[in-house]
Amino acid sequence: MTPPDRAEPPDADVAVVAGEDPPSARVPLDRPRIVAAASSFIDEYGLTGLTMRRLGGTLGVEAMSLYAYVSGKEDLLDAVVDALVAEMRRDDAVSLTPSAGWQDYLQRLAHGVRRVALAHPRAFPLVASRPPEAPWLRPPLRSLEWVEAFLDGLTSEGFTDEAAVSGYRAFSSFLLGHLLLEVSTMGADLGPLDVLDDGVADPEGLADYPTVQRLRDRLAEDRAGAEFEEALEELLNRMALIRAETLPG
Amino acid sequence: MTPPDRAEPPDADVAVVAGEDPPSARVPLDRPRIVAAASSFIDEYGLTGLTMRRLGGTLGVEAMSLYAYVSGKEDLLDAVVDALVAEMRRDDAVSLTPSAGWQDYLQRLAHGVRRVALAHPRAFPLVASRPPEAPWLRPPLRSLEWVEAFLDGLTSEGFTDEAAVSGYRAFSSFLLGHLLLEVSTMGADLGPLDVLDDGVADPEGLADYPTVQRLRDRLAEDRAGAEFEEALEELLNRMALIRAETLPG
DNA sequence: ACCTGAACACCGTTCAAGT
DNA sequence: ACCTGAACACCGTTCAAGT
């Protein structure tokens, strides 16, 4: 009774051969390769399936070998998060500094984060849930690079310090709320175990909930893209107001 | 080198005696008691510490006994989430139906959810991360009761079906974003393991990030309450506009 | 009727030993 | 220099057996 649309993680001792490796040359492990493998593993089988032993198998190596490059599973997951956050820097549409005004800057940034989230729906919750290293690093833009870029970008565009900081907070919770919800509707899991009766089934249980029943179809509609757009627009408008009200000197 | 402010979970075989139980009368287990124990366990030691064996210990019972009342750890965690969601119904300030207008209704509801989140910072992420049972059940108001109440409440207050549904979505992502962020700054963990160097330390690493350094104090300020209030106000204003624009009849 | 012992197939992690 | 075998202390879960 395996859920039909849910791939099973490979056994630990079966090396999942990456398309291009020369069968004899034994490339030594390194940290980036391990982190990348972990990331793909999560994308494919979910966080719950990730095991040091299985990850080793994926790389043609015993689990114990990983500990030479990663201090533990903790460290590995943190590295996966960092890799996700860094992935946005390789997005051509996203830049560290505003080039066509702050609204354009935040638009691109928001969409960049959304693209990463949608590309890794099963890993994205990690970005949200791992405790941040400092109180000024809020998910999902939880790297010093991004916070610096964000604050510097906004202040250089006429925001007061205070407005920039409150903008960072509002932007963070906007992204977190929308993307976590979107990704969780995609069936992402973060829970310790992994169960999902994909049947959407309408088990007559709705009889007691007439309004839900009546609005069922509307509720099930996928409006994620449009909602994201609208809420982002809203947020930018609000920030524009604050900026105008507090324009320095 | 145990983190100083982090209590260690009790050993599995040590019964943590609840203050009031008669030492001889052996009360039989039941599901609600197990769920409540799991909930307190998470509050006290974090999700990571929760183990069937340790939870058994907490109840003076072997782990295996739990399986008579709970089909597995999955089921147990789902029950904990349901209990959290249900906890709001016992909040006197929160009601299922609007009694003083929809704005008052949503204000009370929002603050009720926030109170639950702040009362259980280490459990709240569970509410966000467990896959919802149906696409129309979005965290954190992920019960049929609440969705029905919400939609019914709004439509009875002059919202069109469409406006009520989009209100439900906006309200959900507002709550999720704000509360998850607030709770995660409190040091909640959801990750598979539990590490937190509580030292906020400023390891000179900030040298490369002058703006972050300059705004450090401002960034570290706790503005969660005020931000929540402001963003909620904003959301209600937006909803009021939509409602006015689409007033039926 | 309710709980447990013993067992199974897993975990993460350490460390001395192999090549 | 890089990887592994064997081991340790844990997991979740099953089921026949105890009281």
Tens of pLDDT, residue by residue over A111-150, are 999 999 999 999 999 998 888 888 889 999 999 999 999 9
Measured between CB atoms, which of A135, A172, A238 is closest to B220? Answer: A135
Share of chain A above pLDDT 90, in %: 76
Dihedral of CA atoms B233, B239, B244, B245 in degrees, nearest 10, equals 130
The identity of residue B74, as a single letter, is E
A61 touches strand C (CB under 7 A): no
The answer to whether A165 contacts chain B (CB < 8 Å) is yes
- The answer for B 24-83 residues in CB contact with A (under 8 A) is 47, 72-74, 77
A219, two tokens: 């509720």
pLDDT of residue B129: 86
Sign of CA dihedral A181, A183, A187, A188: negative
Measuring alpha carbon to C1', the residue closest to nucleotide D15 is: B64
Q: What is the pTM for the complete model shown?
A: 0.90
Q: Residue B39: enclosing H or E segment and its boundaries?
A: helix B31-45
Q: Which of A41, A74, A42 is CA-nearest to residue B48?
A: A74
Measuring alpha carbon to C1', the residue closest to nucleotide C15 is: A64
pLDDT of residue A107: 98
**Is the pLDDT score of B14 beyond 90?**
no
Nucleotides of strand D within 7 Å of the protein's CB atoms: 1-6, 10-15
Q: Count Cβ atoms below 10 Å from residue A48 Cβ, excluding itself.
A: 17
pLDDT of residue B142: 93
Measured between CB atoms, which of B139, B181, B218 is closest to A184? Answer: B139
What is the Cα–Cα distance from A175 to B96, expressed in whole angstroms? 29
Q: Which of A165, A179, A47 is CA-nearest to residue A113?
A: A179
Length of chain B: 249
CA A70 to C1' C16 (Å) is 20
Q: Which residues of A touch B218 (CB under 8 A)?
A: 161-162, 165
Supply the DSSP symbol for A11. Answer: P
The reply to whether residue A227 touches residue B169, judged by beta carbons under 8 angstroms, is yes
Question: How far does B24 lie from chain A, in Å, by closest CA?
Answer: 36
pLDDT bin (cut points 50, 70, 90) of residue B9 is confident
Site from B152, B157, B189, B219 to mutate, A interface, most A CB atoms within 10 angstroms: B219
Measured between CB atoms, which of A172, A180, A208 is closest to B176? Answer: A180
pLDDT tens digit string along B219-231? 999 999 999 999 9
Which has more pLDDT, A232 or A192? A232
Q: Which of A119, A116, A29, A113 is CA-nearest to residue A76?
A: A29
Q: Residue B38: enclosing H or E segment and its boundaries?
A: helix B31-45
What is the Cα–Cα distance from A112 to A94, expressed in whole angstroms? 6
Measured between CB atoms, which of B135, B170, B184 is closest to A200? Answer: B135
Nucleotide nearest to A51 (CA to C1'): C11
Nucleotide nearest to B67 (CA to C1'): D13
pLDDT of residue A26: 67
Closest CA in chain B for residue A144: B209
pLDDT of residue B135: 82
What is the rounded average pLDDT of the residues B94-107? 98
B197, two tokens: 């160097």
- With both helix axes pointing from N to C terminus, report the angle between B161-185 and B102-119 in degrees, rounded to the nearest 10: 30
**Among A65-74, A184-193, B53-62, B121-130, which is the least confidently predicted range?**
A184-193
